Structure 1
Amino acid sequence: MEKSNFVDQIRVYCRSGHGGAGIKHFLRDKFTAKGGPDGGDGGRGAHIILKGNRNLWTLLHLRYHKNVLAEDGESGGHNKCTGRSGKDIILEVPLGTIVIDEETGEKEAEVLEDGQQVIWLPGGKGGLGNHNFATPTNQAPEHAQPGMPGVEGWKVLELKVLADVGLVGFPNAGKSTLLSVITAAKPKIADYAFTTITPNLGIVEYRDGRSFCIADLPGIIEGAAEGRGLGHRFLRHIERNPVLLFLIPADSNDHRKEFEILLNELEQYNEELLHKEMLIAISKSDMLDDELKQAISAEMPDNIPHFFISSVAQKGLIELKDALWKALNTKEEE
């Protein structure tokens, strides 16, 4: 089986740097026999930082980083010298990356913008040297602070694809064909289920130089919310799309039922998905006459606009793009 280069989830052990220890030291030189405290502070432990990079579309480059261990801060020196801080580790990630603590399930960080830097795991603070503790009544403090520990643990990095429109449908509904026709993307297309097993992104050129991004996502099957098929790996990506385009093939046995199954899977996974802007496209409609189109229209929900399209015959695509653009801009205005 061909190994995919699209990696949207990795598990990694991370540890930020331990802070350097402050030291206990007293000034001693040939001119000073019993000087005051001059123990320096420890350096800060290295941070682990996430940085958004719009040119990355996958976590593949991090697949073999099983351990990310940041540098510890150095101990302080005499003459009140502060120890060197650890060198921060910067991990570049695609936009839409979130980080989850494996043990608690808590989301720790999220990167959505190009160049955005998030201090994910802060390094430990350096300890204070003994010169910080000198007082009029204690002019020769005998103690200094140890450095603070860094943060460590198993973490999960997940990528949720950032796209304006997400294509939703059963396997072999014609999503990849539509993407290939209205964008410059070249997804794998064949006449069997699960041709698409990873998201494909394409840019739709609209009027007057405007454009929007559309994602062909792996097909849903009934039970996807419980993890069947590609399950949560697929549904996770839908969360980022403000507009969902449901694709139902014209040769479906029951168009309304197919739509309701898709809708139910989204609801089972996350009820908030139902609040997104939705449109329905009946694909492969070049095989339909006017009477069949009217019959299918009668099955469709009244509150969701639907369109008859044919990617092969390139029919109805301009109207569909107009509707998608309108839905996207209506969502932004809200």
Structure 2
Amino acid sequence: MAGGDRGSSDAAEAELRQGFETLAVAQPDPSAAVYEVRLNRPAQRNALSPTAFLEIPRAMALLDRLPSARAVVLSAAGPHFCAGIELGALGNPLDTSSKVADPAAAAEGLRRAILDLQAAPTAIERCRKPVIAAVHGACVGGGVEIVAACDIRYCSKDATFVLKEVDMAIVADLGALQRLPRIIGYGNTAELSLTGRTITAMEAKEMGLVSRVFNSKQELDAGVAKIAKEIAEKSALAVMGTKTVLLRSRDVTVEQGLEHVATWNAAMLRSNDLKEAVTCFVDKRKPVFSKL
């Protein structure tokens, strides 16, 4: 690893050790290149506070830079995954006592505040490492929008999902309406977002919101840890490249997506990881991939 890369890695590790107010970030198994980012406000049902919206992007950026992190699990402490956005996170948009006299200026301030909140799920999506959601209990509003930004989603049998914004007379604005149609289809997204109804874990599985339902939180934690470790043992170049191409191809035409993956592999197919994978397949041994 180059000196600059080592310095960046050391700085990321040092900042992670400083800790967070609303998150718990740890490497549960030192032998696995997997980090867990846990929403850690169980007394508030992990409602997303203004501080959480600042800390999620910071944690994701640090893990993106950390070579020892090859996969990330997003989970939550306590009986529920997330109660949504904490009341007051955007202030009171109905408050007319603001010192800003111009309504347009006040609206622009609110718009900028919403864009700042959107940065949290976007940071999950942009993290080069795959982010796996492990959902249990209630996942409400902003929690669903956070989950929608993850690469893979699993849940326990007790999990429920609901987009409640329509019942609060607002439009979901953190990315669910943009990301969910690509995950569960337009019709399912329209039903969930327009009715505000709660769906069960099995309904989420049938829609494709989650890939698998585990019988309990304990089984969920163990199962997701195993899957994350298996992903982390693969070539980091291949895993990060796959995530990059998937996201790029989601938002462009098939032709543009094919052009992008051709360009990516033109640069990456001569990697040492590919040589190692081929050699190990022939030798029937476990590969040891390069660290980034």
TM-score by length of 2: 0.32
Instruction: Say which structure is richer in strand.
Output: 1
After TM superposition, the score normalised by the length of structure 1 is 0.29
Larger Rg over CA atoms: 1
